[in-house]
Amino acid sequence: MGKIDKTQEEYQKLIKKHQPQGSPIRNFFAAYLVGGLICVFGQFVLNTLQGAGLSMADASAYNTIILLFIGGLLTGLGVYDEIAQFAGAGSIVPITGFANAIVSPAMEYRQDGYILGLGANIYSIAGPVLTYGMLTAFLIGVIKLLIF
Amino acid sequence: MYLYIMAFLVGGLICGLGQIFLDFTKYTPAHLLVIVVVIGSILTGLGLYEPLVEFAGAGVTVPVMNFGNILTQGVLVETKRGGFLGLFSGILEIGGTGVAAAILIGFIMAAIFRPKE
């Protein structure tokens, strides 16, 4: 572990290492390309599953599970972080990025134990997403109940 | 073929806009995920998500935005059927699959692999 008394500049350099380099325009197109390709892959899986006779709903559910598995596996192998270096939001916004956001902290904090390390930190990013996803869905439900 | 192209164009665009958000604000990827999910919920509430899925297929079902969509869809379907209770029982009705899969797969991967130095 490094010392904490870094200068502002050193700290910025440290952060930069974990973010895509380059201009916002380059970052936009990198995110577009990789995110788009992940969606194309998802479409391919979806079509294949439906071609195998699954209903739309079942095919979507399996598609989600498959993409989560691939995202989680690539995170475990350390490949996903490499992709993220290049693609930024292109690897964060697709569902594979959600798997990454779950596996990454869980793996990192496993050294603090399975309960308070892995078990708690598996939700460190998924938790906020679930909380605000549920809250919004609930509020929209309330509005619909009141209006209709 | 059409759906593949639309999936690329629309899915890519959502990611590109997410990158702009990251580049021009001080917010983190966690903020981005939350905001994208909330936007998905709102689009469903406005009745816009279904047409988007028909238009762009996986371009809108692969981004996490879809998570907001299925949470809200569950609530809307269940409140229509069961009224008030549906506000609670509906939330994870469709989304439960994804949540369970994400946590279970996450546990297995995190238990097997070690972080790279």
Extents of the domains making up chain A = 23-123
pLDDT of residue A68 exceeding 70, the answer is: yes
DSSP state of B85: G
Give the per-residue pLDDT at A22.
82
Beta-carbon-side half-sphere exposure of residue B93 (alpha carbons within 13 Å): 20
Given B65, B83, B110, which is nearest A106 (Cβ)? B110
pLDDT of residue A130 exceeding 60, the answer is: yes
Mean pLDDT, rounded, for A13-32: 77
Q: Does B88 map to a domain?
A: yes
A72/B106 touch (CB, cutoff 8 Å), yes or no: yes
Strand partners, A94: B63
pLDDT of residue A119 exceeding 90, the answer is: yes
Residue with the larger pLDDT of the pair A39 and A5: A39
What are the mean pLDDT values of chain B's consecutive 10-residue runs (117 residues total)?
95 98 96 98 97 97 97 97 94 96 98 89
Distance CA B102, CA A14 (A): 30
Q: Does B90 map to a domain?
A: yes
B61/A42 touch (CB, cutoff 8 Å), yes or no: yes
Distance CA B36, CA B28 (A): 12
Inter-CA distances, B25 with B29, B32, B38, Å? 11, 10, 18
Q: Does B29 map to a domain?
A: yes
pLDDT above 70 coverage of chain A, percent: 86
* Residue A101 C-alpha from the chain's centroid: 5
B101's tokens = 């899969």
> What range does the domain containing B27 cover?
2-112
pLDDT of residue A5 exceeding 70, the answer is: no
Mean pLDDT, rounded, for A14-32: 78
Q: Does B17 map to a domain?
A: yes
pTM passes above 0.95: no
Nearest residue of B to residue A106 by CA position? B110
Q: Does B16 map to a domain?
A: yes
Residue A1 — pLDDT band, cuts 50, 70, 90?
very low
Q: Does B83 map to a domain?
A: yes
For A:53-82, CB contacts with B below 8 A are 60-61, 63-65, 67-69, 72-73, 75-78, 81
How many CB atoms sit inside 10 A of residue A15's CB?
A: 9
Q: Could you tell me how many residues make up chain A?
A: 148
The answer to whether residue B100 neighbours chain A at the CB level (below 8 Å) is no
Q: Does B117 map to a domain?
A: no
Residues B36, B18 contacting (CB under 8 angstroms): yes
